[in-house]
Amino acid sequence: MTFDFKNLRILSFSAHPDDEIGGAGGFLLAAKNGGALLKLSLVIDPSEERPDASANEEKNIRLTEFKKVAELLSADSSYLGIARYPEVELTNIFPLIKEIRDFKPDLVLTPSDEEYHPDHRVVAALAKEAIWHAGRSAFPTLGRPYKAKTLLMYEADKPMSQVGFLYDISAVMEEKKKLINLYESQTARKNLADAMEGLNRFRGIMYKGGEYAEAFKTQEFFYG
């Protein structure tokens, strides 16, 4: 699948800081280099008590890392702050509707709905509902209706069983590794760069998608 990135508007909804780079960092880099307009939206509050950090310290560290990555991608960024392990209900869908109506994306990115982490799966579900509701003549306080057409879901913590297409990221793999390593709070706990590189190399070699490739599946939205 090929994309003309010039002036393409791409909105990424991630559950946690680092999801967007681990799963779609190569695609985002290629989009940036091709002249796309990017926005990274962090959906869920990253507060979580750790052995080496309080919940508030963890939140501040991860938000700082997220903003730095967005800046290096020349992307706008936003933080929605929905509580961890959210339900798929309107109060949680509303902030995503507003993001879609304000930014008016051509493509929306989320983690796959096959993910292990429940936050990843819920963000995919929230985004699907938000895309549909954003195109309806409803909820006027959230902005004017906007009909986003395409959702791309990526692999974050689990390989997808049903892949829609592979995107060759060989040319930007080294840049992608540099971006994931900016999430120092996470890479200190596990070697995300090696895990990410291994999956991307497997996808590229086994399915002839380049030396390195990212996997996506697509959902199109139709409105009456």
Residue-range definition of the domain harbouring residue 215: 9-220
Q: Mind listing the pLDDT tens digit for each residue in 73-93? A: 999 999 999 998 888 999 999
User: CATH number for the domain including 156?
Assistant: 3.40.50.10320
118 is a domain residue: yes
Q: In whole angstroms, give the CA distance from residue 205 to residue 71.
A: 31
160 is a domain residue: yes
Query: In what helix (H) or strand (E) does residue 75 lie, and over which residues does it extend?
Result: none
Q: What is the DSSP string of 113-166?
A: TT-SSHHHHHHHHHHHHHHHHHTSS--GGG-S-----EEEEE-SSS--SS--EE
Q: In whole angstroms, give the CA distance from residue 156 to residue 195.
A: 10
Q: In whole angstroms, give the CA distance from residue 21 to residue 27.
A: 9
2 is a domain residue: no
- Tokens representing 88 are 């798929």
Q: Mind listing the pLDDT tens digit for each residue in 96-111? A: 999 999 999 999 999 9
Average pLDDT of the chain, as a whole number: 95
pTM of the model: 0.95
- Tokens representing 222 are 């139709």
Gyration radius of the chain's alpha carbons: 17
Q: How many separate domains does the chain show?
A: 1
174 is a domain residue: yes
Q: Mind listing the pLDDT tens digit for each residue in 141-200? A: 999 999 999 999 999 999 999 899 999 999 999 999 999 999 999 888 889 999 999 999
The HSE-up count of residue 106 (CA atoms within 13 Å, CB side) is 12
pLDDT, mean of residues 114-124: 96
The pLDDT assigned to 224 comes to: 66
208 is a domain residue: yes
